[in-house]
Amino acid sequence: EEMLELAANGAKVLYIRAVEYARRHGVTIHARSSFSSAEGTLVLGPDARAERLAQGEHMEEPIVAGVATDLSQAKVTVVGVPDVPGKAAEIFTIVAKSGANVDMIVQN
């Protein structure tokens, strides 16, 4: 599931259709780097994971399942904006005139 989420969000590690196929048919994925001889990562479905654990193989529980970055995006935080009607629209009108593409807005 985590690898599918990463692929769907553009991690560019594995092709999303390959991940979907592997999940649907219980295929284990061995992801390796083409730049080093490192061991790589096994992506297992729940059945394969349970089978390996039953065979006595030790697998730690992941603390972090995955991280993906996109250097073409930035997070901008605007503080001290008065909570009055039209203020957010005023700010984003200025942002739109700059040509910036706003992907997500969180107000609280």
Please, which residues bridge with residue 42 across strands?
30
pLDDT reading at 45 higher than 70: yes
- pLDDT at residue 29 greater than cutoff 80: yes
CA separation for the pair 69, 83 (Å, rounded): 32
Task: Compute the mean pLDDT over every residue in the chain, rounded to the nearest whole number.
Answer: 80
Cross-strand pairs, 31: 41
DSSP 34: S
Chain segment 52-100, per-residue pLDDT in tens: 777 877 666 666 666 677 788 888 888 888 889 999 899 999 999 999 8
| Range among 6-15, 34-43, 49-58, 81-90 with highest mean pLDDT value | 81-90
Q: What is the pLDDT of residue 62?
A: 64
Partnered with residue 43 across adjacent β-strands are 29
C-alpha dihedral (13, 16, 17, 23), degrees to nearest 10:
90
Higher pLDDT, 37 or 54: 37
Is the pLDDT assigned to residue 15 strictly greater than 90? no
Which H/E stretch holds residue 6? Answer: helix 2-8
